[in-house]
Amino acid sequence: MLGTVVNAVAIILGGLLGVLLRKGIPDHYKTTIMQGVGLSVLVIGLMGAFKTGNILVVIFSIVLGSIIGEKIKIATKLDEVGLWIEGKIGKGQGTVAKGFVTASLVYCVGAMAIVGSLESGLTGNHQTLYAKSLLDGISAVIFASTLGIGVAFSAAAVFIYQGLITITAGAVKYLLVESVIQEMSAIGGLLIVGIAFNILEIKRISVANMLPAVFLPIVYQVLQPVLQPLLLSISTVLQNIL
């Protein structure tokens, strides 16, 4: 858990520093900075999404993951946590919940969060999460300078999310072959694209409700002997249509 602890602390420190800098940054600078951050997040997401080796697994995972997420209302619950925090310390700023939800999603669904947590749990190697901590700490300064203190509270979501992956990695390590991790990372990248759309206000996408999709490649690995012939048939039909 050391890598996850360092990651959470880096986000808290970066978030607090960003809040301190917030008042000294004019509003038009904040707008331009957030647009720049949104574009950067978009590129990061695309780079991850293009690494997929099986687009059908990505599509089915996104569809089924969205159904699961909508059923258990992940987005609503995240918003409720953010609004609860805002009610306690927001002082009417109105951005605490947005900062918490946005930063939590950015820091949780990326490839480094998944791969780094798996490495920590399986091998005790925290180098990936250390690198992620540096990046998250820097980006937390930028996020918090525009979205406020809610960004610092996203450290709690990161700690729980990455901690659970780290703790459970040993139990499912026989399923975590390279292809599974590759598709998990690709789906995470695609969700980051959705977050970029939200930041840039292009289209509001319920990314939180798609989070279960990240873990469905593991299910696919278990059911592969049954699903593989079906996916091959669908792929053949699509190729004939196209």
Query: In the numeric block, which tokens belong to residue 201?
Result: 């206000």
Say how far apart CA 108 and CA 159 lie, in whole Å. 9
Q: What confidence score (pLDDT) does residue 62 get?
A: 92
Going by C-alpha positions, the residue among 106, 113, 110 that lies closest to residue 147 is: 106
Q: Assign 177 to helix, strand or coil.
A: coil
Q: What confidence score (pLDDT) does residue 98 get?
A: 81
Query: Given phi > 0 = left and psi -120 to 50 = alpha, else beta, which region is 96?
Result: alpha
Mean pLDDT, each 10-residue run in order, the chain (242 residues): 89 90 76 82 85 86 92 84 74 70 82 79 80 85 84 90 84 79 85 85 85 86 73 70 68
For the chain, the maximum distance between any two Cα atoms, rounded to a whole number of angstroms, is 59
Q: What confidence score (pLDDT) does residue 242 get?
A: 63
| 187 and 53 Cβ atoms separated by less than 8 Å | no
Q: What confidence score (pLDDT) does residue 12 get?
A: 92
Number of C-beta neighbours around residue 194 at 10 A: 22
Say how far apart CA 54 and CA 49 lie, in whole Å. 11
Say how far apart CA 39 and CA 171 lie, in whole Å. 37
Say how far apart CA 143 and CA 34 lie, in whole Å. 8
